[in-house]
Amino acid sequence: MTQLNQVDVQAVGALVAAVRDDEAKARTTWAAHVTWRGGFRSEAKVRGFDPAPSDEPTALGGDDTAPNPVEQLLAALGNCLAVGYAANATVAGIAVDSLSVDVKGDVDLRVFLGLAEGHAGFDSITARVRIQSPASRDELEALHARVVASSPVGHTLGSAVPVRVELA
């Protein structure tokens, strides 16, 4: 097995080839099951992994036992970008010595608290990426452009994606 950036180069190449040969393999569905645990605590079960807890900080009425949903959303973007850099750097033959992504965003709680009407979500989100690599700045800029252009979570957050919440 050939690895670069601790990524199996053959596995990534095989996935790219499989999707190129059969576009139906590109269509995937992902799911999570969330269970309320009392107060502002809940947990998300994804595939066979241990449940991921969620809570609110004490300042928002929670017990501060876990990250809250908006923090998890920021983490999802950072994690998605990290995967994108690892995959795209590996495909491009770029070694990455270290990578970190700091993600932050501002939320006005007035709508969530019922004190105003309007947009309840983030006003904006900023991700700052730091890469240590022997690659040139031009190579890193090209890598960055590829990752930003192909991040599923980044595109989801940056687009008006239909969300339907149904009461069963």
Quote the CA–CA distance of 41 and 153 in Å, as a whole number: 24
Count how many domains the chain has.
2
Q: Are residues 94 and 58 in the same domain?
A: no
Q: Please tell me whether residues 105 and 134 are part of one structural domain.
A: yes
Where does the chain have alpha helices with state H? 9-21, 69-91, 137-150, 152-158
Q: Is the pTM of this model over 0.85?
A: yes
pLDDT per residue over 44-83, tens digit each?
999 999 999 999 999 999 999 999 999 999 999 999 999 9
Q: What is the pLDDT of residues 91-118, one digit of tens each?
A: 899 999 999 999 999 999 999 889 999 9
Q: Which of 66, 91, 120 is the last residue of a domain?
A: 66
